[in-house]
């Protein structure tokens, strides 16, 4: 039997890394997370537990990572535009400390996140992005 060269072999993702497994798991975790209101002990424990687990997975590299670029393409500077626009408004609203008259982003988000469905959706966004980072 011929031996395969190393650079031609690709590790198959583990079962729990496949979308058919990890997407339902992320949705289930998000639905549970959406049940816990802000400032509750459960919410804090759940965020620290889920985040801690994902950080452990990411730092120990137990998940198959996508190849990272050696160099960035020159257009990377365009990412500064949304960051600066968002940063200016977040900074201005934070330092103005004008409450609801000139609210920060989190002050605007808080009433929306009181709804359980919106909260679960926010959990799904946060966990999915975290999972994406772990796989980088």
Enumerate binding residues for another protein (CB under 8 A).
Answer: 33, 36, 38-40, 43-44, 46-48, 50-52, 54-55, 58-59, 66-69, 71-76, 78-79, 81-82, 85-86, 88-90, 92-93, 98, 100-106, 108-109, 113, 119, 122-123, 126, 129-130, 132-133, 136
The three-state secondary structure class of 119 is helix
Is residue 54 within 8 Å of 104, Cβ to Cβ? no
Minimum CB–partner distance for residue 14 and another protein (Å): 20
DSSP 61: T
Task: Pick between residue 15 and residue 95 the one whose CB is nearest to another protein.
Answer: 95
Minimum CB–partner distance for residue 64 and another protein (Å): 14
CA gap 56, 54 in Å, rounded: 5
Is residue 117 within 8 Å of 34, Cβ to Cβ? yes
């Amino acid at each position: 039997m011929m031996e395969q060269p190393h650079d031609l072999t690709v590790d198959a993702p583990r079962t729990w890394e496949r979308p058919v497994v990890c997407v339902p798991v992320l949705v289930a975790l998000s639905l549970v997370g959406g049940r816990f209101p802000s400032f509750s002990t459960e919410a804090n424990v759940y965020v620290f537990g889920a985040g801690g687990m994902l950080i452990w997975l990411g730092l120990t590299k137990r998940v198959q990572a996508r190849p990272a670029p050696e160099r960035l393409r020159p257009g990377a500077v365009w990412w500064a535009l949304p960051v600066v626009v968002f940063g200016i408004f977040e900074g201005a609203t934070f330092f103005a400390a004008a409450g609801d008259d000139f609210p920060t982003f989190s002050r605007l988000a808080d009433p929306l996140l009181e709804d359980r469905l919106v909260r679960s959706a926010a959990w799904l966004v946060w966990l999915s992005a975290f999972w994406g980072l772990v796989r980088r």
